[in-house]
Amino acid sequence: MAGKNEFYWRRLHSLLGVIPVGVFLVQHLVINHFATSGEEAFNKAAGFVEGLPFLIFLEFIVIYIPLLFHGILGIYIAFVAKNNPIRLGWFRNWMFTIQRITGIILLAFIAWHVYQTRIQAALGNAEVNFQMMEDILSNPLVLILYILGILSATFHLSNGLWSFLVRWGITQSPTSQRISSWVMGVLFVVLSIIGVRAALAFVFPDFFVG
C-alpha cells in the first residue's frame, strides 16, 4: 500500500471509523445507559434493538464488516506508522501513540464482548438483557477490564474524529485544529461518563435507581 492508494485507503479507514462504526458506538452507549433507569428500562431499550427486522444482516453490513476492515487496516497503520515530533509536536504524538494502543486493546475487548453477548445469545445460552450484563460484570476484575474497554473506545472515537476532520480537510488551520482538540476532549469525557455509568448501573442498580 503506497502512494495514492495508501492515501485513499487511509481516508476510507477514517471514514468507516466514524460512519458507521462511531455512530454505532454512540448508539450502543446510549442504549446501555438506560440501565441507570433500572432493569425494565434497559430491557425495553435492548428489546427494541433485538426486535429490529433482519437484525443479523444489519449487524454484519453496518457493524461487523466495517469494523473488521477498520480493525485490520488499523493494525497495519499501528505497526508501520511512525511519530513525527517536528511536524506533530509532543501532544499530538502522544495522542497518535495512545490512538494506536487503544485500537489494539479494542480488538481484544470487542472480540471478548461479542463472544459473551451476541454469540452466547445466538447459541441459546443467554438472552441479551439486564441480567446477562449483571452476570458478566459481577466479577470485579471483569468490571475493571470492561471499563478499560469503554475508555479505550471513547478515546479512540474522540481522537479519531479529530484525525478525521484533519484528513478530510475540514480543519486545516492551527486554530481550527486547536478548537477541535478541545471539542473532542469534551466529547471523550461525556461519552466516557455515559459508558462508565452504564457499566456501574448493571452492578450497583440501587445506587442509580432509588
**pLDDT at position 81, please?**
66
Q: What is the DSSP string of 112-156?
A: HHHIIIIIHHHTTS--SSHHHHHHHHTSHHHHHHHHHHHHHHHHH
d(CA 180, CA 19): 18
Q: What is the pLDDT of residues 65-82, one digit of tens each?
A: 999 999 998 888 777 766
Q: What is the pLDDT of residues 175-205, one digit of tens each?
A: 999 999 999 999 999 999 999 999 999 999 9
Which of 94-103, 112-121, 160-169, 184-193 holds the top average pLDDT?
184-193
